[in-house]
């Protein structure tokens, strides 16, 4: 048996995407590979994404890979290189506190006396639309479906159908969407995920619906107990794939509250799973208010990548009385303007025009060469920390190129 010792280099610990990447690397080899977290004193099959996530591995944890088998030497050499140079690339870069800090409200806006609700910025930007409430599907109806002799066959067919659907989406998506869908596909193809559902059916004599929900609750409970915020927020992903599995198995029980956007909308919900977000027509999604979504949830990562502004800190129940009313979600100042009058709308319209002009000017300046005052061409390099998914633009000032983040939002960068 050969061993690789390393410290976990991932700032967010081993969550869905790094677990999938590590599993993919280990699955290339015939040897048995065991992941060990020394701090937690736990072991896991390194070829199982779910098992790796369940170790609760955090940044700088002391870890080991034990490799045993015919190709152990080749596996060790390959995995050592990957762990040293590529493992960290599987983690997510999240916006820092300064980037998510709300700006002070401009006096020119305050003078208009808008009706404001104050929230916390999760994804920067500004959007205008109708406030629309979304309620999550209640899964209790699936728990009471009686057991059937065909349950095991149904499970295999539903897993295969969900995998096929995810593969189809992977062919149509790119960027953050593709990465998150790949992680979901890895989870439902994981032997431990399906195996635990089968064990619950056999050992506890649960019907298929109850077993899927019990498995979801077990995994979510394990993640919720993690010391990592990032791992706790993967609960939404487990719920997501479990809900999809239930809907595929019993299509006649599909939720009737599926939301189709036909006009600019500010969506209000307790939470939203990644698949629910991806099912929306983003051309009509002006913004979201999510009561329980954390700063590192996959839904929020998708929203940032799609330039959808998001606020939290406002309860869906409290906003319920404003449903179907127009509003402006200002996720730069951290406010929701209810029933904006013509003056408030005019303020945001002017701000948007100014931002568009500034962005056009910066886009033109980005094509200019950087040169010194004596007209010598020079290269400029810079490290810029920006939110994931934002494009970069450069403008020229006093003979030099200055990198700045470009944001598709009312106020610009």
Domain boundary at 73, 90, 107, which? 90
For residues 385 and 293, membership in a common domain is answered with no
Q: Evaluate whether residue 412 is within a structural domain.
A: no
For residues 358 and 318, membership in a common domain is answered with no
User: For every one of its 413 residues, what pLDDT tens digit does the chain have, with 9 covering 90 and above?
Assistant: 999 999 999 988 888 888 989 999 999 999 999 999 999 899 999 999 889 988 989 999 999 999 999 999 999 999 999 999 999 887 766 555 555 566 788 888 889 889 999 999 999 889 999 999 988 878 889 999 999 999 999 999 999 999 999 999 999 888 888 888 888 898 888 888 999 999 999 999 999 999 999 999 999 998 888 777 777 888 889 999 999 999 999 998 876 656 889 999 999 998 899 999 999 999 999 999 998 887 778 899 899 888 899 999 888 888 888 989 999 999 988 999 999 999 999 998 888 888 778 878 877 777 677 788 888 888 776 544 333 334 433 333 333 334 433 333 333 33
In this predicted structure, what is the pLDDT of residue 135?
83
Enumerate the β-bridge partners of residue 45: 34
In this predicted structure, what is the pLDDT of residue 218?
92
In this predicted structure, what is the pLDDT of residue 61?
94
To the nearest 10 degrees (0 to 180), the angle between helices 151-172 and 235-249 is 120
Q: Evaluate whether residue 361 is within a structural domain.
A: yes
For residues 246 and 264, membership in a common domain is answered with no
The helix (run of H) or strand (run of E) holding residue 110 is helix 107-110
Domain containing 19 equals 2-90
- Domain harbouring 15, CATH code: 3.30.1340.10
Asked if residue 303 lies in contact with residue 319, where contact means CB atoms within 8 angstroms, the answer is no
C-alpha 111/C-alpha 102 separation (Å) is 19
Asked if residue 306 lies in contact with residue 284, where contact means CB atoms within 8 angstroms, the answer is no
For residues 206 and 180, membership in a common domain is answered with yes
For residues 210 and 226, membership in a common domain is answered with yes
Enumerate the β-bridge partners of residue 338: 115, 327
C-alpha 353/C-alpha 340 separation (Å) is 18
For residues 247 and 265, membership in a common domain is answered with no
Q: Could you give the 3-state DSSP secondary structure of residue 328?
A: strand
Q: Evaluate whether residue 395 is within a structural domain.
A: yes
In this predicted structure, what is the pLDDT of residue 393?
37
Residue 64 neighbours by CB under 8 Å, 6+ apart? 3, 4, 5, 6, 35, 36, 38
Q: Evaluate whether residue 46 is within a structural domain.
A: yes
Q: Is the sign of the CA dihedral 135, 252, 203, 163 positive or negative?
A: negative
To the nearest 10 degrees (0 to 180), the angle between helices 235-249 and 175-188 is 70
For residues 223 and 279, membership in a common domain is answered with no
- Domain harbouring 203, CATH code: 1.10.274.10
In this predicted structure, what is the pLDDT of residue 342?
92
For residues 168 and 236, membership in a common domain is answered with yes
Domain boundary at 342, 371, 389, which? 342
Q: Evaluate whether residue 411 is within a structural domain.
A: no
In this predicted structure, what is the pLDDT of residue 343?
93
**Burial of 298 (C-beta count, 10 Å sphere; 0-12/13-18/19+):** buried
Q: Evaluate whether residue 413 is within a structural domain.
A: no
For residues 275 and 337, membership in a common domain is answered with yes
For residues 176 and 247, membership in a common domain is answered with yes
Q: What is the pTM of this model?
A: 0.74
Q: Domains in the chain: how many in total? A: 4
C-alpha 314/C-alpha 182 separation (Å) is 32
Alpha-carbon torsion angle 234, 238, 241, 242, nearest 10: -160
- Domain harbouring 121, CATH code: 3.50.30.10
Q: Could you give the 3-state DSSP secondary structure of residue 79?
A: helix
C-alpha 35/C-alpha 42 separation (Å) is 8
C-alpha 256/C-alpha 236 separation (Å) is 21
In this predicted structure, what is the pLDDT of residue 257?
58
**Burial of 385 (C-beta count, 10 Å sphere; 0-12/13-18/19+):** exposed
For residues 156 and 230, membership in a common domain is answered with yes
For residues 262 and 126, membership in a common domain is answered with yes
Domain boundary at 205, 231, 253, which? 253
Asked if residue 83 lies in contact with residue 4, where contact means CB atoms within 8 angstroms, the answer is yes
């Amino acid at each position: 048996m050969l061993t690789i010792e390393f410290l976990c280099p991932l700032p967010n610990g081993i969550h869905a995407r790094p677990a999938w990447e590590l599993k993919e690397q280990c699955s290339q080899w015939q040897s048995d590979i065991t992941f060990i977290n020394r701090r937690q004193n736990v072991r896991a099959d390194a070829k199982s994404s779910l098992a790796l996530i369940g170790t609760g591995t955090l940044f700088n944890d002391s870890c080991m890979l034990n490799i045993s088998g015919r190709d152990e030497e080749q596996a060790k050499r390959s995995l050592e290189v990957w762990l040293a140079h590529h493992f960290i690339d599987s983690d997510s870069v999240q916006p820092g506190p300064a980037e998510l800090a709300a700006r002070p409200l401009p006096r020119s806006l305050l003078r208009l006396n808008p009706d404001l609700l104050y929230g916390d910025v999760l994804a920067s930007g500004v959007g205008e639309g109708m406030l629309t409430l979304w309620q999550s599907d209640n899964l209790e109806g699936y728990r009471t479906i009686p057991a059937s002799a065909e349950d095991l066959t149904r499970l295999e067919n539903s897993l295969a159908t969900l995998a096929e659907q995810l593969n189809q989406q992977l062919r149509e998506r790119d960027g953050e969407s593709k990465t998150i869908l790949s992680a979901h596909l890895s989870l439902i193809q994981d032997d431990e995920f399906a195996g635990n559902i089968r064990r619950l059916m056999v050992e506890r004599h649960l019907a298929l619906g109850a077993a899927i929900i019990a498995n979801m609750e077990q995994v979510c409970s394990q993640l919720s107990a993690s010391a990592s915020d990032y791992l706790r927020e993967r609960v939404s992903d487990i719920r997501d794939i479990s809900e999809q599995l239930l809907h595929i198995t019993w299509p006649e029980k599909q939720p009737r509250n599926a939301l189709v956007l036909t006009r600019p909308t500010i969506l209000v919900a307790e939470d939203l799973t990644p698949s629910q977000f991806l099912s929306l027509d983003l051309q009509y999604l002006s913004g979201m208010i999510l009561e329980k979504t954390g700063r590192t949830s996959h839904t929020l990562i998708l929203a940032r990548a799609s330039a959808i502004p998001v606020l939290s800190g406002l309860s869906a129940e409290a906003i319920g009385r404003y449903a179907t009313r127009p509003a402006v979600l200002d996720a730069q100042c951290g406010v929701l303007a209810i029933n904006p009058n013509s003056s408030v709308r005019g303020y945001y319209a002017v701000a948007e025009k100014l931002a568009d002009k500034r962005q056009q000017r910066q886009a033109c300046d980005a094509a200019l060469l950087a040169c010194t005052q004596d007209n010598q061409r020079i290269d400029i390099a810079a490290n810029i920390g920006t939110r994931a998914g934002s494009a970069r633009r450069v403008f020229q000032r006093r003979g030099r190129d200055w990198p700045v983040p470009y944001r598709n939002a009312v106020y610009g960068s």
